Amino acid sequence: MYLPNLTWPDLREYVENGSLAVVPLGSTEQHGPHLPEGTDHLIADALARAATDRTDHICTPVIPIGVSPHHRQFHGTMWVDAPVFRDYVESLSRNLTYHGIDRIVFVNAHGGNVAHLREVGRRLRDDGTAYAVEWMWDESIPDLIEEAFETPGPHGGPKETAMIMHIAEELVRDDRLEDARDGGMTAFDPATMAVNGARVTYDSKEITENGVFGDQTDATPAVGAELFEAATDQLCALLEWLDDQPFADLLPQEHVAPRPARTGN
């Protein structure tokens, strides 16, 4: 159920029986020479729409720009500062709660958003307004991804390439797949970002010349369809689980007893 396509009486009917909303989020940033800059938000939006169509939950419009300054050296990358992003997502979420929503799933497809969405979720939960949880598609199907690709790569690799081949194949530059592989870091090694236990890199340009990781030539539309269906199944299961939980059980637990009494004026 896509919120912009509904009328307000439709939404009134929805909140009479349901209180869950899905908010897709991603980024608009470089994904190498072969993928569109909208890769992340295209994936998030497609998964959120597919899952809510199946479960009859509400899906909001996608938030297409996230926290992406680590890709800023590449043309076209857009980002907002982290505090701005957090405040925007929290404000939007509180807007939903005003209309009767008390649980939210952030369908996220950009790693740079994760920590900030978790913080927004804690703010909403701590004051008892709503329970909001962040969900990443690739983290829901890690075994399938490992089986499908020898070198999946965390950014712009074959898993994202296959997903876009399935969602919007016309946006993939097939003639650049080998260039993407050969000009990037095929086998991602986190150790390249650290010195003596300290992470010393801040931007993707410092470790990959063309901004991507993995072997993009392993991607196919068929594998993308398999990944998409498996991730959608996982998201649907999450939505149904969350919808079944008593709201009180989702709120923070009480302080352990005994709790010291406050004294003084």
Burial (0-12, 13-18, 19+ Cβ within 10 Å), 78: middle
Contact 140, 168 (CB under 8 A): no
Residues near 122 by beta carbon (within 8 Å), at least 6 away in sequence? none
Instruction: Please tell me whether residue 63 adopts helix, strand or coil conformation.
Output: strand
Tokens of residue 202, six digits: 């801040």
pTM equals 0.94
Pick the CATH number of 3-249 from 3.10.110.10, 3.40.50.10310, 3.40.50.300, 3.30.365.10: 3.40.50.10310
pLDDT of residue 265: 59
pLDDT of residue 256: 87
Q: Angle CA(1)–CA(123)–CA(246) in degrees, nearest 5?
A: 55
pLDDT tens sequence across 165-205: 999 999 999 999 999 999 999 987 788 888 988 989 899 99
pLDDT tens sequence across 127-158: 999 999 999 999 999 999 999 999 998 899 99
Tokens of residue 94, six digits: 């509180």
Instruction: Please tell me whether residue 135 adopts helix, strand or coil conformation.
Output: strand
Q: How far apart are CA 144 and CA 136, in angstroms?
A: 14
Domain spans of the chain, in order of start: 3-249
